Structure 1
């Protein structure tokens, strides 16, 4: 009697890629990325944008690619050499100037993201891998959001999404984001530290990370040395960590900021809670600028993003580096099978 063994393979996730501001490098780095076999080895990439702009980007980068216009994610071929595109046809090429702020660019970028969110919330795509948008173009189009995070928060109906960076296995969350340093320090209350550790830990769990070990970065030199160099650690940060530990979070700190990121990079911690914007950004980007990827947690779908801008100064010139976009798509594909949409 002969028996056969049935093997199963994990279905590749459909990753939606809104092409970003058409006057920036988004279309170029997307086409460069989708010319590479390793992207199709791990996922099914779907571009949401303007087909004419993407055709122009293919010409600029000299890629051997063709556009396949579709109306729904299920129609895609997802084959190397063919770029599946949901074409919103919302850019006038005669008016498009690379490197220039424009209302049509800002409106277009917003519409690509909006369409991607619609497909994600409908369960038709597993994740978003977003390209750069331009704040001035959004303003010119009267789009009422300053950036991706605020836009996704509103479109998805989420509350205070969490930003996480990942680079070479090091994960960094942010207690504060776009605040002046003075305002960020004022926001470093024990209640906020406690709340963020609990929610960030939940976010890591949704990404499939088990047995999570946390460190909180210090603010002052040597984490304040017990008040010698500042009292924030003593009065707010450490008490916030203690409240989180009481809730079952495996967290330590505050750990001096000049060592905590190195320790996380070498596996001592699964994630670090950075206290303010530049503290974590510098640590990640000095580790590897092009491979630092942003993940927005707290949404009903997974979202990764390049962590650079539209680079208007080099747009349309075929000199934009696509490594970050490639890593952005790959990280979305990596976490997609583990991601759980509902809060734990």
Structure 2
């Protein structure tokens, strides 16, 4: 079984810390970290003082070496292009050096995934301001991964065991997000969601589509995007054999799709028109259980459902639950 590559994230945030915490608890077997050794040693020291267990850090030369590292030992593969002095950066501060280091880790992890040396990539949180300060032209993980993989259209999915939401647009202003709702964008999102769901084992996924406007436009009373754009895209998807339904009122469709033991959901996936429309419902169910998945890449990539949490960095109080969930989902999707 190939290992998972976990990128360390922003060195000034909680990424290295939650990685170290998860390894200290024995929760990430068959994984290694792409990162700065001293940053991970600093994180291991913090975690060791909190968990009262030792967490040695081992440098590995290639992904396959991760399997030779003893349990509860943190294997680190150092990527090319790391700047000096990353471990000396203070916690909780935006720093261009941290952005450079985070991007170097991501790029090397992508190279390993494209070379089929790892089963999947799990990315710890990065800070978008640090990425911008580093001179990166990409606003976040998704765009950087897409560029490095030379991938076609990609989409963000946020998922937990109760709800899966795929977004038409991601990190843009609300005004630009509304402008991004086009026939082509909605149809492409439905295609990507369908292909992904089939890969993870749902032969005929039921996809609900949220409207853009309140009450899904109420037959044009509150906006006509549903009539002009969204409904025709759904009809086109149905002609391609995709079980797409809607557009539904966005204030109720997520409740209808939510799966619980008491209430099996009506749908397997919800396509949302913009970032907050789709992510607020999933995050409300519990950030610690949410996993971000990038659909459309030539490899599996997941990440925790939270950011760098600068206010917690260095305290030893950050919760690794979402990172562990991301690793578990990456493994399931990679196998599927």
TM-score (norm 1): 0.89
Contact 1:78 1:84 in 2 (8 A): yes
Paired residues of 1:20 and 1:132 also in contact (CA < 8 A): yes
Deviation at 1:303, TM superposition (A): 0.1
* Paired residues for 1:212-291 under 5 Å: 212-266=205-259, 267-291=265-289
Q: Does the C-alpha gap of structure 1 residues 255 and 73 become closer, same or farther in structure 2, counting only changes over 3 Å?
A: same
Shift in Å, 1:210: 1.8
Superposition deviation, residue 93 in structure 1:
5.5
Pairing 1:1-344 to 2, within 5 Å after superposition: 11=1, 13-40=2-29, 44-62=30-48, 63-76=53-66, 77-88=68-79, 90-92=83-85, 95-266=88-259, 267-338=265-336
Give the Å deviation of 1:206. Answer: 2.9
8 Å Cα contact 1:145/1:151 also seen in 2: yes
- Contact 2:5–2:32, Cα closer than 8 Å, also in 1: yes
State whether residues 91 and 105 of structure 1, in contact with CA within 8 Å, keep that contact through their aligned partners in structure 2: no
Q: Give the gaps of 5 or more residues in structure 1.
A: 1-10, 339-344
Q: 1:48 Cα shift?
A: 0.8
Matched-pair contact (CA < 8 Å) for 1:50–1:91: no
Post-superposition shift, 1:190?
A: 2.6
How far is 1:176 from its partner? 1.6
**What does the per-residue CA deviation read over 1:84-124, in whole Å, with 9 as the maximum and x for residues that have no partner?**
11134644267421112222211111111111111111111
- 3-state DSSP class of the match of 1:153? helix
Pair 1:220–1:138, CA change in 2 (3 A): closer
CA contact (8 A) 1:168 1:265 kept: no
CA distance in 1, matches of 2:326, 2:142: 16
| TM, length-normalised to structure 2 | 0.91
Secondary structure of 1:336's aligned partner: helix
- Paired positions, count: 324
Q: Which residue of 1 aligns with 2:262?
A: none
Unaligned ranges ≥5, structure 2: 260-264
In 2, distance between residues paired with 1:209 and 1:226? 32
- Offset, 1:259: 1.7
Q: Using the alignment, how far apart are the partners of 2:237 and 2:64 within structure 1?
A: 43
Tell me how far apart the structure 1 counterparts of residues 95 and 185 of structure 2 sit (CA, whole Å). Answer: 38
Conserved? CA contact 1:165–1:292, under 8 Å = yes
Question: Following TM superposition, by how much is the alpha carbon of 1:39 offset from its aligned partner in structure 2, in angstroms?
Answer: 3.0
SS, match of residue 280 in structure 1: helix
Alpha carbons of structure 1 residues 209 and 36: separation in structure 2 relative to 1, 3 Å? farther
Structure 1 residue 181 displacement after superposition: 2.5
Q: Which moved more, 1:146-155 or 1:134-143?
A: 134-143
